[in-house]
Structure formats: structure tokens, C-alpha cells
Amino acid sequence: MRKKTAYDDALGDFFAQHADTSPYNAYTDRPAMLQLAGDVSGARILDVGCGAGQYAAELTARGAHVVGIEGSATLLRYARARVNGQAELRLHDLDEPLDFAADASFDGAVCALVFHHIKNREQLLGELRRVLRPGGWLLISTTHPTADWHHFGGSYFSHDWSDLAVAGGKHSLHYQRMPLETFISELLAAGFVLEQLIEPRPTAALRKIDEATYDRLHQAPSFLAVKLQHP
């Protein structure tokens, strides 16, 4: 029986309907990650936790061949409608091995704002290293540990699983907090080489539609994003 995820049903609907315009997704995380990806024309890319398909659609439009995996059936329905057959999408539990993919079968992988939801991160990173070709790249974005510390309080070094209320408290996101030390150490222990680390800020386009939010998100970080290489 398929494991139900937090993004099934109502939360999946909420995320899919807001990710196109959210200051966090549309104007902060996604532009930064796509800039890190650079030229993807002709590349075979694995979209890990493809959500409602925004990344898959954008990468495909830029000439990539995308395989997207998602644990939420709700989000996958939105993603399939968005890409309209232009990318290969499959329902897959991200805590399970990537048994559908051959060794060294991808040029790049994107894992956008999903890493902190994964319980078996060591296995996922090992599998990503396996399916990426030598010289391939991996992009990961996650919640910024100082943002979590500011919001939840307690110890900065907490590894607690926490619930972040969204949509005025109607829904919550369940994920594991981790300090920067843990985040980077897990990536390096998996055998990846860190090429670049950024703290994404919203693009100027947000300022034109919501100057107050633009200014607020330039005062404190929300996310971390890294580009890693398979040596």
C-alpha cells in the first residue's frame, strides 16, 4: 500500500495553487535554483520531489529531458497537467531507493525544498550519487536553519521534527530542523563536492507587486541552496 504524504489532499491542493505566485517559491527559491542550474539544454535531469511540476516545466522549456518523482498523488496530478506529457513523471516514495533508475543515467538532479522532509536522507543521497554520472551535478534547497531558529526558538542546533503552520494555520508543514553543520556534513559524507552555496533573496520582480514582502525577505534568510558535483 502506498504511504500517504503530508502533501496529499488539502495541503497538496493548497501548495499547487500557491507555488506559482508565492514569494517564497516563485520569487525566491525557484529563480535561485534555476540560476544555479545554468544551461540545461540536452541534459537528462531528475526532479526529486517534483511537486506540482513547476521545475519540471521550466527545465523542459529550457531544453532538458526531465524525469520527475513525487510521493504525493495529489501534487503529481497537478504536475502531469502542467507538463502535458513533456516530462516523464512517476509516483515514488522518496524514502525508498531509486530502483527505476540505472547507474550514471542522469546529468543532473534537482531537490527543491524537499530534503528536510526526507527521513532516510543518507539513502537518498547515496542513490542520487549512484544515478548521477561522474561530473554530474546536484542542486538542493532547504529551509535556512536561522529562519527555523528564529521561528521555533529553542536551540539553534535542534534536530527536532517540527510543524510550521501555513495558510493561516489551516495546514502545517512537517519537517526536520538541522543546523548548517548537519546539512553540509551529510552532503559531503555522501561523497559530493560542494561547488557553491547561496542564501536566496527574492528577485526584483517581487518588489513590483509586493514591496513590503520584498523588503522583509531581504532582511533575513529563508532558504539555503547548494550546487554539488559528483566527482
Answer whether 45's CB lies under 8 Å from 68's CB.
no
Q: How far apart are CA 224 and CA 186, in angstroms?
A: 14
The amino acid sitting at 81 is A
pLDDT at 9 over 80: no
| All structural domains of the chain with their residue ranges | 9-229
pLDDT of 167 reads: 72
pLDDT of 1 reads: 42
Closest C-alpha among 176, 191, 187 to residue 226 = 187
Q: How far apart are CA 1 and CA 210, in angstroms?
A: 44
Q: How far apart are CA 158 and CA 17, in angstroms?
A: 31
Distance from the Cα of residue 14 to its chain's centroid: 17
Q: How far apart are CA 133 and CA 148, in angstroms?
A: 34
Query: What tens digit of pLDDT does each residue of 191-227 get?
Result: 999 999 999 999 999 999 999 999 999 999 999 999 9
Q: Which residues contact 40 (CB under 8 A, 6 or more apart)?
A: 59, 62, 63, 64, 108
Region 116-128: what's the mean pLDDT? 97
CATH fold for the domain made of 9-229: Rossmann fold (3.40.50)
Q: How confident is the model at residue 17 (pLDDT cuts 50, 70, 90)?
A: confident
